[in-house]
């Protein structure tokens, strides 16, 4: 029997066409605003790796009892983070927040960029310096994703500072002074150029310029209300004075710089003036809407693997944490069809692929609950922040990997957002990483992941002209508020309480 004809049914094809056009338009708009890399898989087989992750991943627990459900804030409320109370004022929004940028001559910043390909033993950074330090876009329509190099921190920070809402042209009104010197990029001539033996001279011309051209501001508090950004680990600037050989320059050891706050990618344990700030990732939200959409996408991602490791090393036979990780996290091409499905996904970072191919890295990290962050040449890793952007819970093997470093940007209680497994227990104690992580309850995993997703705004550097940028604090805002608090502590004479035994040279 024929079904009765429904009145108006003849118009359905037209409505379907309109609906499909609307969906297509929204999809294009989403890629432009979310900006997630949409390139096709390349010859290295990232699509195969993703497919393998779907087929061989451990079974992800996707249902929870009503008692385990977590209460989440709406995305719109979640990213609207108020500024710290000490910097709020009903009469003057810039009270206690005014920043003066020293007008350094080009030799200390722009002219350094002109030498982007001057060092044979260091990769050219000409491409990385594009788009204000963000580097090339991942694809033509991208607005938020770039192939960012971590060593462009100085340029990124400088461009954000130029758009700061409480800039002042009067040095007498300033609460804090920014020195826009590209110290890390200028250090290349001492680290890889023909001036290796002159590392003690690094920064000498800068100090002389400050004394000659900004003496009143420089001498007001002995430089203690000044800060500079150095886009490398502090160890690269810490060669002892008077030592002609050895790695690094001596700018952090120079007496005139001992009071200046240095924002670095990784700090040492003892100098109070050093503060670690997040490595730049590839994600630079073009608007508050872009950020909210990305966080929502991360929250919805299906986690097929228990843990993942992005990196290299560990191929030798000697005892080290990366070797132990590789034993539990084999490369995909070493897993046979008859082998037991692995719980860990290995992400090869050969050829700096993880640094400049965010599509490859994000798609894989978003398939794991936990991301391992073992130390390498130094304790910290950019991968920590890549993982946070992917909503992947970090697993550290020593406190120096994050807990003692990013105290302004990450929660004071490590267990809120991460797992700590002492590396000696893994290397010599035969503790299984997978067994430890597998014992974390699904409710606890969900809680930590939500905390990690909530950290995304604080660890990314948004675009300087991002609409709605004032609605959330990014890594720049958090760092600057930290500097302002430090200067305020100096003025109040409470440095001993805040920095303990670290000496202040006033």
In a domain, 205, yes or no: yes
pLDDT number for residue 195: 80
Give the pLDDT confidence score for residue 397 in this predicted structure: 96
Tell me if 197 is assigned to some domain.
yes
Containing structural domain, residue 241:
99-276
420, 360, 363: which is closest to 392 by C-alpha?
Answer: 363
| In a domain? residue 215 | yes
Tally Cβ neighbours within 10 Å of residue 41.
15
SS3 274: strand
Whether 296 and 442 share a structural domain: yes
CA distance 277 to 263: 6
Q: Are residues 416 and 379 in the same domain?
A: yes
Domain assignment present for 420: yes
For residue 264, the SS3 value is strand
Q: Is this model's pTM higher than 0.75 or not? A: yes
Q: Which of 166, 156, 240 is nearest to 199 (CA)?
A: 240
Instruction: Give pLDDT, residue 3.
Output: 45
Of 252, 276, 300, which residue sits at a domain end? 276
Count up the domains in the chain and report the number: 2
Q: What is the pLDDT of residue 316?
A: 63
Residue 347 lies in a domain: yes
Q: Is residue 369 located within the same domain as residue 225?
A: no
Residue 335 sits in a domain of what CATH number?
A: 3.40.50
Instruction: Please tell me whether residues 266 and 376 are part of one structural domain.
Output: no
Q: 235 and 297: one domain?
A: no
Q: What is the pLDDT of residue 179?
A: 98
Predicted confidence at residue 226, as pLDDT, reads 96
Contact yes or no for 290/457 (Cβ under 8 A): no
pLDDT of residue 287: 94
357 Cβ contact list (under 8 Å, min separation 6)? 37, 147
Which run of H or of E encompasses 305? strand 305-311
3-class DSSP state of 65 = coil
In a domain, 375, yes or no: yes
Nearest to 306, CA basis, from 433, 454, 451, 450: 433
Which regions in the chain score pLDDT beneath 50? 1-10, 31-34, 37-78, 80-81, 89, 335, 338-340, 496-506
How do residues 104-122 score in pLDDT, each as one tens digit? Answer: 999 999 999 999 998 877 8
Whether 471 is covered by a domain: the verdict is no
Strands across the sheet with 419-420, in order?
Answer: 344-348, 305-311, 368-373, 393-396, 419-420
Check whether residue 345 and residue 383 sit in a common domain. Answer: yes
Assess whether 271 and 357 both reside in one domain: no
For residues 55 and 392, what is the distance between their CA atoms, to the nearest angstrom? 20
Distance, CA of 396 to CA of 164 (rounded, Å): 34
Q: What are the tens digits of pLDDT across the range 89-106?
A: 457 889 999 999 999 999
Measured distance CA(154)–CA(172) in Å, rounded:
25
């Amino acid at each position: 029997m024929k079904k009765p004809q429904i009145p108006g049914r003849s118009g359905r094809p037209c409505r379907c066409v309109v609906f499909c056009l609307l969906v297509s338009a929204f999809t294009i708009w989403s890629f432009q605003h979310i900006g997630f890399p949409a390139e096709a898989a390349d010859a290295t087989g990232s699509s195969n790796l993703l497919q393998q992750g779907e087929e061989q991943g451990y079974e992800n627990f996707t249902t929870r009892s009503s008692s385990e459900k977590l209460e989440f804030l709406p995305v719109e409320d979640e990213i609207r983070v108020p500024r710290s109370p000490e910097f709020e004022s009903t009469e003057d929004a810039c009270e206690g927040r005014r920043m003066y940028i020293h007008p350094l001559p080009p030799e200390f910043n722009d002219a350094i960029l002109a030498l982007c390909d001057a060092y044979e033993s260091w990769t050219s950074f000409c491409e990385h310096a594009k788009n204000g330090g963000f580097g090339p876009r991942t694809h033509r329509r991208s607005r938020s994703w770039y192939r960012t190099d971590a060593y462009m921190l100085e340029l990124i920070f400088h461009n954000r500072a130029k758009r700061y809402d409480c800039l002042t042209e009067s040095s007498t009104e300033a609460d804090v002074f920014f020195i826009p010197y590209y110290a890390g990029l200028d250090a290349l001539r001492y680290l890889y150029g023909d001036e290796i033996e002159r590392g003690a001279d690094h920064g000498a011309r800068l100090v002389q310029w400050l004394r000659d051209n900004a003496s009143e501001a420089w001498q007001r508090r002995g430089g203690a209300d000044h800060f500079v950004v150095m886009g490398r680990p502090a160890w690269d600037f810490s060669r002892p004075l008077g030592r002609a050989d050895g790695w690094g320059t001596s700018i952090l050891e120079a007496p005139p710089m001992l009071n200046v706050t240095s924002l670095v990618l990784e700090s040492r344990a003892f100098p109070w003036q050093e503060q670690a700030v997040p490595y730049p990732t590839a994600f630079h939200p073009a608007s508050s809407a872009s950020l909210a959409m990305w966080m929502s996408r991360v929250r919805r991602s299906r986690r097929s693997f228990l843990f993942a490791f992005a990196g290299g090393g560990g191929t030798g036979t000697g005892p080290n944490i990366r070797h132990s990780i590789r034993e539990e996290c084999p490369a995909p091409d070493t897993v046979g069809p008859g082998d037991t499905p692995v719980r860990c996904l290995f992400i090869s970072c050969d050829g700096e692929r993880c640094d400049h191919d965010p599509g490859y890295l994000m798609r894989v990290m978003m398939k794991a609950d936990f991301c391992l962050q073992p130390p390498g040449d130094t304790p910290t890793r950019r991968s920590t922040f890549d993982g946070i952007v992917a909503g992947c819970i970090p697993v550290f093997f020593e406190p120096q990997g994050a807990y003692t470093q990013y105290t302004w940007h990450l929660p004071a209680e490590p267990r809120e957002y991460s797992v700590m497994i002492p590396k000696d227990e893994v290397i010599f104690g035969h503790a299984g990483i997978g067994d430890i992580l597998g014992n974390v309850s699904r409710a606890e995993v969900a809680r930590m992941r939500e905390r990690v997703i909530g950290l995304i705004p604080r660890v990314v550097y948004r675009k300087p002209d991002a609409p709605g940028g004032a609605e959330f604090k990014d890594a720049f805002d958090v760092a600057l508020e930290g500097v302002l608090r430090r200067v305020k502590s100096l003025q109040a004479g409470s440095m001993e309480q805040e920095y303990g035994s670290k000496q202040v040279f006033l």
